[in-house]
Structure 1
Amino acid sequence: MKSTYTYCIAALAILSVSACKSKSDKQNAAPPPTSVNVVEANKSDALYYDKYQGTVVALNSVELRSQVSGFITGIFFKEGTVVTKGTPLYEIDKRKYEAAYQQARANLISAKANLSKAQKDIDRYNMLLKSDAVARQTVDQATASFETAQSQVAVAQAGVESAATDLSYATIRAPFTGRIGISQVKLGAQVSPGSTLLNTISTGNPIGVDVVINEQDINRFYRLQKNSTDSTFRLQLPDGSAYNHTGKIFAIDRGVSDQTGTIKVRVQFPNAKDQLKDGMSCVLQVLNDESGNRVQIPYKAVTEQMGEFFVFIAKDTIAEQRKVILGPRIQSNIVITDGIKPGEKVITEGFQRLRDGGKITLGAPSGAAAQGGAGAKSGTQPK
C-alpha cells in the first residue's frame, strides 16, 4: 500500500514538471512576424509656398477735394465706373469765378492801354530832348510812368491767371484714368476748399497686394525682386479660390519698423477682370526656397512622439524606426527633408504594433483599412 502511494506521488511530480516546462517554452517562444505594407520613398517635384496675410491696395489712389468754395451744381459721372483722365466729374457754381475772370481781363486791357500811352509819351519826350525842347525832369517823369505802367500790366496779367485758375478749379476733373467710388456729396451741397471730401478715384489694373514680413526675410525678398519666375507669387482669394494670375514685387518699403521689426512689401498683380478690389483681404503665397525635387512619402506613415516625428523602414524582415524631419504636406504625401533616402521602403500599414527591430513580413495586415488612416496622430500637421 505504501509502495502504491509512493508511485502516485512520483507520477504527479513528473506531470507537474512537464506542465511547467511546457508553459515556460510557450512564454519564451518569439512572437510571430507582423504583417505590413510598404511603399518605396521616391523623389518628385514638390512646389510649396509660404503664406502671408495680405491686403489689396490700388497702386494709385486719390481723394478728390475742392480747391474753391461754393455749391455743387453738376455731377457728371456714374458712380463705381471707370473714368478717363481729364473727364469732368463735378462742377461748383462758377458764376462768381467767371465774373472775377472777366474783371481781371478788363484790368489787363486797361493796364496795357496805360502802358501804350506811357510808351508814346516817353518816345515823344526823348525826341524833344534831343533838340532841348523839353526839360530833363519831364523826361525822367515820363520814364517813371512808363515803368509803373509796365508793372501794372504784370500785376493785371497775374490777376488774369489767378482768376483763370480759380475758374478752372470750379470744374473738378479726373486726374488719371481709374475707377471712381460713390459720391460723398450731392447736388446743391456746399463745399469748402481742401476740407470737403467729394469722392475717391483709384487705379485697378494692375493692382498691388501689401504684406508685412519679418526683417529676417528682407534679403530673400530682395533676391526675389531681382530674380523671380511666374510661379514665385500666387494669390488666394477670400473665398479660398486661387487667383489665376501670378505677380511680381512692385516695391519694398524704405525701412524696418523699430517697434515691430517688420517691413512692408508690395506685390503687383494684373487685374484686367477687376476681381481684386482695393481693401480686399487675401493670402499671398510665396514659393519656398526649398521647393524642387524632394523625397516624398505617404503622410499616413508618419507617427509623432513627444513633438518628434518617426517612420518605420523595412530592412528585409526587420523594422527599423527612423527619426525624420518633415517639410510641407502636399495632398496625401509629406516632404521629408532629412532622415530617408530615395529607394528605402517605408512601412505604411501595420506599424502600429511594431517596435524598433521587430520582425515583419510583407502583406496586407489585418484591419489594414482601419489602421491606414490611424497613424498615431496622423492629423498632426508639421510646423
Structure 2
Amino acid sequence: MKSTISFAASLTVFAFFLHACGNKNNTNQAGPQEKIVPVTTSVVGSEIVTAIRNFPATVVALNETELRAEVSGYITNIYVSDGASVSKGQRLYEIDRTRYVAEVDQAKANLNIAESNYERVKKDVERYKTLQAKDAIAKQTVDYAETDLNNQQAQVQGARAALSTATTNLNRSVITAPFAGTVGISMVRNGALVSAGTTLLNTISSTNPIAVEFQINEKEIDRIVDLQKNKATNAIKVTLPNGTSYDEPGFISTMDRAVDRNTGTLKVRATFNNNQQKLRVGMNLLLNISTLSDAEELIVPYKAVVEQLGVYNVFTISDSSTAVFKEVKLGSKFEDKVVITSGLNAGDVVIVDGANSIVEGGKVSTKKN
C-alpha cells in the first residue's frame, strides 16, 4: 500500500513538471504585444475663412525722374545735401550762368535794334503811302518800302525767338525739383563740367505716398478688382524685409492695362502712406491680402500636415483606432491652420501630434487637441 502511494505521488510530480515546461515553451513562442502610440487629435471643422495671400512685391515711387543738365557748363552751386527731402520748385543745382546772362543781354539788344528798324521802316511806308495818294512818288518806291517792312517784322520775330531761347537756357542753368520728394546721392560735385542732355546730376523720387507693385495670376483679377472698388480697410498690408509688419494698410490704386501673355500675370500697384519713411524705393517685401471665403471651408491645424516630396498627407483615425494615411490638397494657410480643398470630410479625426511615431495601420490612443 505504501509503495502504491509513493508511485502515485511520483506520477503527480512528473505531470506537474511537464505542465510547467509546456507553459514555459508557450510563453517563449508568443509574439510581443502590439505597440499603442499616444497621439493628439483634432476634428476636421468648417468655417468662413479669412485667408491671407502673400505676394512678392517691390516698393516703387509714384513719381521718379532723373535730373540731367539741360545746358553745358561748370557746376557752381549745389543747394541740397545728399538724400535730402525737397519741395517742388526748390533749387538743387546751379550751372555757371555768366555766358547765359550775356546771351540774354545780347538777345535783348538785338531785339531792341530789330524793333527800332521796324518802327523806322513802318514810318517810311506810312509817309510813302501819303505821297503816293498825291501822285508825288513812284509806286515802285512804296512797294520796296513795304517789302522792307515785312523783312524788318521777320527780324523782330527772329530776335524775340533768340531772346526766348537765351532766357530758357538761363533758367535751365538752375535745376529745380519738379515735384516734392527725396533726392539721392549727387553724381557731381562743385566745379564739375556737365554737358547738356547727357550728364546725370541726381535722381529724385516721391516718398509719401508710395507704391508697392506685385504680380497676380489672371485667375485672381476679379477678386483684386473688387478690392480696388471697395478699398477694404486693413485688407492689404505688407511685411518688411526684417519680418515685421508695416503699420498702415494700403489700397489697390492701379492695375496694368494687359495680362502678360507669356506668364499669365498682371501687374498691380497698391498705395501706402509713408509718413515715417519706412518704405524705400527698391525694397523687396511681401504684400499680404486678406480675403473672406465665399463659403465654409474645411480646416485642420497646419501641424497635422505631412509633406513628402511636394505631396501633402495627413493621418486620420479609423473606427478601430488605427492610423490611416490620406493624401490631401491644401488651400490658403492662415494663422496656425490650413484649408483642405480635397481628401477629407467634415468630422474626420486627424492626428496633430505624434505622427512621426506611427505608421499606416498602427494602433493609437487619442487625446483631443
TM-score band w.r.t. shorter chain: 0.7 to 0.9
Match of 1:59 among 57, 62, 65: 62
Provide the rounded CA distance (Å) in 2 between the counterparts of 1:255 and 1:232: 24
Report the equivalent of 1:116.
119
Cα distance in 2 for residues equivalent to 1:70 and 1:337: 68
Partner of 2:106: 103
Shift of 1:230: 3.3
**How many residue pairs were aligned?**
355
Equivalent of 1:338, from 337, 342, 355? 342
Q: State the 1:226 CA deviation.
A: 4.5
TM-score, scaled to structure 2: 0.80
Identical pairs, percent: 35
Partner Cα distance (1:255, 1:23) in 2: 78
- State how far apart, in whole Å, the 2-side matches of 1:222 and 1:265 are: 12
Aligned equivalents of 1:34, 1:144: Cα separation in 2: 113
Superposition pairs for residues 1-383 of structure 1, below 5 Å?
A: 15=19, 19=23, 37-44=40-47, 46-213=49-216, 217-221=217-221, 223-228=223-228, 229-255=232-258, 263-287=266-290, 293-303=296-306, 307-313=311-317, 315=319, 318-319=321-322, 321=324, 323=326, 324-348=328-352, 352-353=357-358, 356=361
Q: Where does structure 1 lack aligned partners over 5 or more consecutive residues?
A: 365-371, 373-383
Tell me, in whole angstroms, the C-alpha distance in 1 between the residues paired with 2:46 and 2:137: 109
What is the deviation of 1:192? 0.7
| Stretch moving more, 189-198 or 277-286 | 277-286
Structure 1 residue 261 displacement after superposition: 5.8
Partners of 1:305 and 1:263 in 2: how far apart?
A: 32
TM-score of the superposed pair, with normalisation by structure 1: 0.77
CA distance in 1 between counterparts of 2:83 and 2:104 reads: 34
Alignment partner, residue 3 of structure 2: none
**One-letter amino acid of the counterpart of residue 140, structure 1:** D
Q: Is the 8 A contact 1:65 1:198 kept in 2?
A: yes
Q: Note if contact 2:305-2:312 (Cα within 8 Å) is conserved in structure 1.
A: no
CA distance in 1, matches of 2:308, 2:162: 84
| Partners of 1:314 and 1:346 within 8 A in 2 | no
User: 1:276: Cα distance to partner?
Assistant: 0.7
CA distance in 2, matches of 1:206, 1:343: 48
Asked if 1 retains the 8 angstrom alpha-carbon contact of 2:52 and 2:334, the reply is no
Say if 1:48 and 1:291, in contact at 8 Å, map to a contact too.
no
Q: Letter of the 2:128 partner, please give it.
A: Y
Q: Aligned partner of 1:39: which letter? A: S
